[in-house]
Amino acid sequence: MANTQYLFWVMAGALTLLFIVVSAFVGLSRGAKQGYITFAVLFVIMLAGAFYIHH
């Protein structure tokens, strides 16, 4: 059986990389500031979800 905490961190890393790619495309199409805001919002949502699942 795989370690649950290991899988959690692998998923968190994969989602962070996905958020970076999405934010880069948003930044290219709408401007750098909007890209940073997009990344921040997605990252905060991920952290809130991780906190909710973990506790």
Query: In the predicted model, what is the mean pLDDT of residues 6-10?
Result: 88
**Contact assessment for residue 46 and residue 16, using Cβ atoms and an 8 Å cutoff:** yes
In sequence order, the 6+-apart residues with CB closer than 8 A to the CB of 52 are none
Supply the pLDDT for residue 1. Answer: 60
pLDDT digits (tens, 9 = 90+) for 14-42: 999 999 999 999 999 999 999 999 999 99
Supply the pLDDT for residue 6. Answer: 87
* 33 three-class SS: helix
pTM of the model: 0.80
**Contact assessment for residue 38 and residue 26, using Cβ atoms and an 8 Å cutoff:** yes
Cα–Cα distance list, 41 to 16, 47, 53 (Å)? 12, 10, 18
